């Protein structure tokens, strides 16, 4: 208990330690001094690992508290205090934020460790770790922020770090462009987010509850019921705007296009930012504002629909991708779709559960792919791999475990979390459940396609690459093993109560009960019976197993079937390969028009605005000249007049002071005479 209490006292250091690390490494990088890589790595990993330890202690401390008091706000100092708008630099410590803190610091530490090996040959080693630590700071601020402005700081901060890390090798124009694309697409979401926040604040203020902190907002939320804005319920509008923000950050339709391109960054970055943590920020945000979403069933329906649509859409694209990281990227988009699907049902714990398990196995997959790419000397095309399991046994085993987990094989993590989502969906939106199951099957197939092409069969790499094939160093394999272990064990955090009941483990859905106090649940929804649940579980497990097997067979022994399909429907295959031309459509519809608008605005700015500015400048000059003349002639004249009057008066009066006594005597006598005359007359 002593450790836990001390750790909770230091909880504000959780985001600050990575910031400190970023500052140390950043300033050392900036100073251009030669710093041993060991020191840089030690600072970066050490700061995050310390943060992880504190998070663990905080978890122990908070879990020791009674359930109703597991909501603590740590206020550091007042930040904005403007009228009724009061925001502190404060951290909200509750089960939700602790869960995410553990994931971010834990997985983050592993990925930092992995990066030490992965980036060891890079020139910008310390710059990389500066950005990575800065990202962790921003992500932890996002998670722990007790109010919307704090969250927004983190929200923008992770966007910035994402941009910096995607374009980490910025000398390559394509990679720099990918970073820019991510940034710009995120801006759209961020804009919606801040508009939603302002609308929410504005409505709350007009209801007399001007607040920006989550806990106070939650208590004030019932006041929003029935409030409308131009006939639209405010809650629905706000939740929709927030969801648009979430689609930007968490890569959902229609703003998902940046995430596949984001694979231009170093692979550990893809693992940390674009799989495990940052892209789940949208999910977290919906969980954090569950009190709003629970009041807006229409929005939840939209969220679920978009989520599952994204899930199946990106799963389809993933089929035809040959870049190992692109497959994983689309798989991430697909899994994020599952999370949103869960959030939309109102079963927020299911979404968060999948977020956690996904962080484990997707980080493992990405790091595994990084290990493969590292070994292949930068080659990312799975068509040119194969048979790697002989060369890299550790990577192969961990990768396979993570793949089984994501495919949803019992009893790995993905099974429980995905099954929870599907079960909840089945109860709320049965037709979306169908989409979900199809996507899950698709996930299993394309993941096994990738595994098969990468690790099984004959090696298709050229001789030179084959010669250099080797298992990665320990700093890379240790995180893989740990994450694979977590991918196995993570699922037991949320064993459904119905399953736990079978083996006499009551309340086995630990995560659900842990998170229960945080969420404001929507109205109770009729759930199907336990037997239905068992049936569905069995069905989805069967689908997953069949999918895995199909993925293995179709791309190893019976390669003729996919080839025949491709030959039969070349147009569809080409469309899938080209990601359904979404980028091109966006380019045509939005980007070109936007550029045209930009050019127009630039010309407008040059001609009209500059003209006006110049005119104003000219007018100012004229009026300044006039007022200058007035000043010179009139005001100065007046001042000089006063001065001269004093001078003339003085020079006239000084004659009186002749210095001769007798003159003074005359004045005195004259005065006496006057007095006398006055007395006489």
> What sign does the dihedral 329-335-339-340 (CA atoms) show?
positive
Structure tokens at 4: 């836990």
Site membership for other proteins, residue 671 (CB under 8 A) = no
Closer residue to other proteins (CB): 571 or 661: 661
Closer residue to other proteins (CB): 230 or 657: 657
- Can you tell me which of 670, 671, 678, 681 binds other proteins, judged by CB under 8 A? 670
Cβ neighbors of 97 (< 8 A, separation 6 or more) are 91, 143, 144
Closer residue to other proteins (CB): 77 or 678: 678
Judge whether 405 and 358 are in contact, CB under 8 Å. Answer: no
Closer residue to other proteins (CB): 33 or 679: 679
CB of residue 626 vs other proteins: minimum separation in angstroms? 44
Closer residue to other proteins (CB): 1 or 653: 653
Alpha-carbon span 372 to 119, nearest angstrom: 14
CB of residue 644 vs other proteins: minimum separation in angstroms? 19
What are the angstrom distances between the C-alpha of 509 and each of 63, 286, 501, 514, 515? 15, 21, 10, 9, 10
CB of residue 658 vs other proteins: minimum separation in angstroms? 6
Cβ neighbors of 172 (< 8 A, separation 6 or more) are 264
- Can you tell me which of 594, 615, 641, 673 binds other proteins, judged by CB under 8 A? 673
Around Cβ 574, how many Cβ atoms within 10 Å? 12
State which of positions 401-440 bind other proteins (CB under 8 A): none
CB of residue 664 vs other proteins: minimum separation in angstroms? 10
SS3 93: strand
Site membership for other proteins, residue 679 (CB under 8 A) = yes
Closer residue to other proteins (CB): 226 or 650: 650
Stretch that binds other proteins, among 101-109, 409-417, 620-628, 671-679 (CB under 8 A): 671-679
CB of residue 680 vs other proteins: minimum separation in angstroms? 7
- Can you tell me which of 75, 581, 669, 671 binds other proteins, judged by CB under 8 A? 669
Closer residue to other proteins (CB): 594 or 672: 672
Site membership for other proteins, residue 676 (CB under 8 A) = yes
Alpha-carbon span 139 to 161, nearest angstrom: 10
Nearest to 426 by CA among 418, 512, 298, 236: 418
Closer residue to other proteins (CB): 36 or 650: 650
Site size toward other proteins (CB under 8 A) is 20
User: One symbol per residue from 167 to 186: x for binding other proteins (CB under 8 A), - otherwise; what is it?
Assistant: --------------------
Closer residue to other proteins (CB): 571 or 656: 656
Judge whether 114 and 268 are in contact, CB under 8 Å. Answer: yes
Closer residue to other proteins (CB): 526 or 652: 652
Nearest to 335 by CA among 406, 398, 268: 406
Stretch that binds other proteins, among 61-69, 285-293, 533-541, 673-681 (CB under 8 A): 673-681
Alpha-carbon span 339 to 251, nearest angstrom: 12
Closer residue to other proteins (CB): 230 or 651: 651
Judge whether 246 and 159 are in contact, CB under 8 Å. Answer: no
First to last CA, the chain: 111
Closer residue to other proteins (CB): 383 or 658: 658
Closer residue to other proteins (CB): 595 or 665: 665
Judge whether 517 and 95 are in contact, CB under 8 Å. Answer: yes
CB of residue 647 vs other proteins: minimum separation in angstroms? 14
Q: Identify any residues that bridge with 60 across adjacent strands, giving them in sequence order.
A: none
Judge whether 402 and 331 are in contact, CB under 8 Å. Answer: no
State which of positions 609-668 bind other proteins (CB under 8 A): 653-662, 665-666
CB of residue 636 vs other proteins: minimum separation in angstroms? 29
Closer residue to other proteins (CB): 612 or 668: 668
Around Cβ 466, how many Cβ atoms within 10 Å? 13
CB of residue 641 vs other proteins: minimum separation in angstroms? 23
Alpha-carbon span 220 to 211, nearest angstrom: 9
CB of residue 643 vs other proteins: minimum separation in angstroms? 19
CB of residue 654 vs other proteins: minimum separation in angstroms? 4
Alpha-carbon span 245 to 257, nearest angstrom: 14
CB of residue 646 vs other proteins: minimum separation in angstroms? 15
Phi, psi angle pair for 132, to nearest 5°: -65, -45
CB of residue 660 vs other proteins: minimum separation in angstroms? 5
CB of residue 678 vs other proteins: minimum separation in angstroms? 11
Site membership for other proteins, residue 207 (CB under 8 A) = no
- Can you tell me which of 1, 503, 526, 677 binds other proteins, judged by CB under 8 A? 677
Question: 627-633 long-range contacts, Cβ below 8 Å, gap at least 24?
Answer: none
> What sign does the dihedral 453-455-460-465 (CA atoms) show?
positive
Closer residue to other proteins (CB): 571 or 680: 680
Q: Scan for tokens 């890299």, then name that residue.
A: 392
Phi, psi angle pair for 77, to nearest 5°: -160, 155
Q: Identify any residues that bridge with 92 across adjacent strands, giving them in sequence order.
A: 73
Cβ neighbors of 15 (< 8 A, separation 6 or more) are 51, 91, 136, 137, 140, 141, 144
Cβ neighbors of 584 (< 8 A, separation 6 or more) are 578
Strands 72-82 and 85-93: antiparallel
CB of residue 671 vs other proteins: minimum separation in angstroms? 12
Stretch that binds other proteins, among 31-39, 243-251, 600-608, 669-677 (CB under 8 A): 669-677
Structure tokens at 378: 């930068």
CB of residue 640 vs other proteins: minimum separation in angstroms? 23
Nearest to 494 by CA among 563, 600, 437, 420: 420
Closer residue to other proteins (CB): 431 or 666: 666
CB of residue 655 vs other proteins: minimum separation in angstroms? 7
Phi, psi angle pair for 344, to nearest 5°: -65, -25
Q: What one-character-per-residue DSSP string does 598-633 give?
A: HHHHHHHIIIIIHHHHHHHHHHHHHHHHHHHHHIII
**Interacting residues toward other proteins by CB under 8 A:** 653-662, 665-666, 669-670, 672-673, 676-677, 679-680
């Amino acid at each position: 208990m002593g450790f836990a209490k001390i750790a909770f006292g230091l909880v504000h250091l959780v985001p600050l330690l990575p910031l400190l690390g970023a500052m140390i490494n950043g300033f050392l990088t900036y100073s251009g001094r030669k710093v041993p890589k060991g020191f840089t790595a030690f600072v970066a990993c050490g700061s995050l690992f310390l943060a992880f330890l504190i998070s663990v202690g905080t978890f122990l401390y908070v879990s020791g508290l009674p359930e109703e008091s597991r909501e603590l706000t740590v206020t550091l100092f007042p930040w904005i205090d403007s009228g009724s708008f009061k925001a502190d630099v404060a951290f909200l410590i509750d089960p939700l934020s602790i869960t995410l803190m553990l994931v971010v610091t834990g997985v983050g530490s592993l990925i930092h460790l992995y990066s030490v090996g992965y980036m060891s040959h890079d020139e910008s080693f310390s710059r990389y770790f500066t950005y990575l630590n800065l990202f962790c700071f921003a992500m932890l601020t996002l998670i722990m922020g007790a109010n919307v402005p704090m969250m927004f700081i983190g929200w923008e901060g992770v966007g910035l770090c994402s941009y910096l890390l995607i374009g980490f090798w910025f000398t390559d124009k394509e990679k720099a462009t990918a970073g820019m694309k991510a940034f710009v697409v995120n801006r759209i979401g961020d804009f919606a987010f801040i508009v939603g926040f302002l609308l929410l604040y504005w409505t709350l203020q007009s209801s007399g509850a001007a607040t920006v902190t989550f806990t106070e907002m939650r208590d004030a939320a019932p006041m929003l019921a029935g409030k409308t804005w131009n006939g639209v319920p405010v809650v629905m509008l706000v939740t929709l705007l927030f969801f648009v923000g979430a689609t930007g950050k968490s890569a959902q339709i229609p703003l998902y296009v940046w995430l596949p391109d984001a694979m231009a960054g170093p692979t550990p970055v893809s693992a940390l930012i674009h799989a495990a943590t940052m892209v789940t920020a949208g999910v977290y945000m919906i969980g954090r504002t569950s009190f709003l979403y629970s009041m807006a069933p229409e929005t939840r329906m939209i969220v679920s629909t978009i989520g599952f649509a994204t899930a199946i859409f990106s799963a389809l694209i993933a089929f035809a991708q040959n870049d190992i990281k692109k497959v994983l990227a689309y798989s991430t988009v697909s899994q994020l779709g599952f999370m949103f699907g869960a959030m939309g049902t109102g079963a927020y714990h299911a979404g968060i559960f999948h977020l956690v398990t996904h962080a484990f196995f997707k980080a493992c997959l990405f790091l595994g792919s990084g290990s493969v790419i590292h070994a292949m000397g930068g080659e990312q095309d799975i068509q040119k791999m194969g048979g790697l399991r002989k060369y890299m046994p550790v990577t192969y085993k961990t990768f396979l475990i993570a793949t089984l987990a994501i495919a949803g094989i019992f009893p790995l993590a993905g099974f429980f979390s995905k099954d929870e989502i599907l079960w909840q969906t089945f109860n709320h939106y049965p037709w979306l459940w169908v989409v979900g199951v199809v996507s899950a099957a698709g996930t299993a197939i394309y993941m096994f396609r990738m595994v098969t092409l990468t690790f099984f069969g004959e090696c298709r790499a050229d001789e030179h690459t084959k010669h250099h094939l080797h298992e990665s160093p320990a700093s890379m394999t240790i995180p893989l093993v740990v994450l694979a272990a977590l991918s196995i064990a993570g699922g037991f955090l949320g064993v459904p109560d119905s399953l736990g009941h079978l083996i006499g483990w009551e309340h086995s859905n630990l995560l659900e009960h842990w998170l229960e106090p945080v969420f404001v649940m929507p109205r109770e929804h009729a759930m199907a019976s336990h037997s239905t649940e068992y049936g569905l579980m069995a069905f989805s497990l069967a689908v997953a197993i069949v999918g895995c097997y199909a993925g293995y067979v179709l791309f190893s022994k019976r390669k003729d079937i996919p080839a025949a399909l491709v030959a039969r429907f070349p147009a569809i295959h080409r469309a899938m390969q080209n990601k359904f031309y979404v980028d091109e459509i966006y380019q045509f519809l939005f980007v070109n028009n936007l550029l045209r608008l930009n050019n127009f605005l630039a010309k407008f700015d040059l001609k009209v605005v500059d003209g006006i500015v110049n005119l104003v400048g000219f007018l100012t000059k004229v009026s300044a000249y006039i007022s200058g003349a007035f000043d010179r002639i009139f005001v100065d004249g007046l001042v000089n007049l006063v001065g001269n009057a004093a001078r003339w008066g003085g020079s006239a009066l000084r004659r009186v002071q002749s210095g001769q006594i007798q003159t003074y005597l005359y004045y005195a006598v004259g005065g006496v005479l006057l007095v006398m005359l006055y007395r006489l007359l």
